[in-house]
Amino acid sequence: MSLRAFIALELPVAIQDAITDRTATLRSTLARPLVRWVPLHNVHLTLKFLGEVSPANLGNLAQVLKVEAREHAPFTFSVGGLGVFPNPRRPRVIWIGLETPPALVALARGIETICVRLGYDPENRPFSPHLTIGRVNQNTSAAELQHVRFALERTQVGAFGAVTVDAVHIFKSELLPGGTIYSHLYSAPLESGDERK
């Protein structure tokens, strides 16, 4: 039986808690059904969405990911700011921003390469790292979209701090009536250059 899976970086609980605190007013102002908010302890940085994966393929993927991860040294990136896709006039995805150091780009590129080699669909959009915290309902009226835009303009979240990346993770995603549940399946540690075997 296959499962929905993705490869991602975890965030420290302190960063998740800071995001929770500083977006609390926004989340209460833009409550369901206007915006579907991600449970903030589910917030992560997706590097590759895999879709349906069989248990056998999951084992292969874990082994290849372990080898790829060893090629990358641990690194840090800072988290901060609030934005939307595709633009403020038509907000659909609400996100927290982060800096994109070369090490993050290299890791994402390496993971994309191994996944395509294993037969997963290539990503057709450029890598644009962000932390999705909410999705605006597709059926909103013009007045509701204006309400969303004004609420976002009034919200300042500032900087949340730095994240140290020392591993990449495979997660299972279960779509349940009460929301999506993410379960940790596998971790592949990053290694610094002088520790590589």
Active-site residues, by number, are 44, 130
- CA–CA gap between residue 31 and residue 37 (Å, rounded): 8
Task: Note whether 93 and 128 are within 8 A (CB).
Answer: no
Q: Which pair of structure tokens corresponds to residue 69?
A: 């991860």
Per-residue H/E/C for the chain: CCEEEEEEECCCHHHHHHHHHHCHHHHHHCCCCCEEECCHHHCCEEEEEEEEECHHHHHHHHHHHHHHHCCCCCEEEEEEEEEEEEECCEEEEEEEEECCCHHHHHHHHHHHHHHHHCCCCCCCCCCCCCEEEEEECCCCCHHHHHHHHHHHHCCCCCEEEEEEECEEEEEEEEEECCEEEEEEEEEEECCCHHHCC
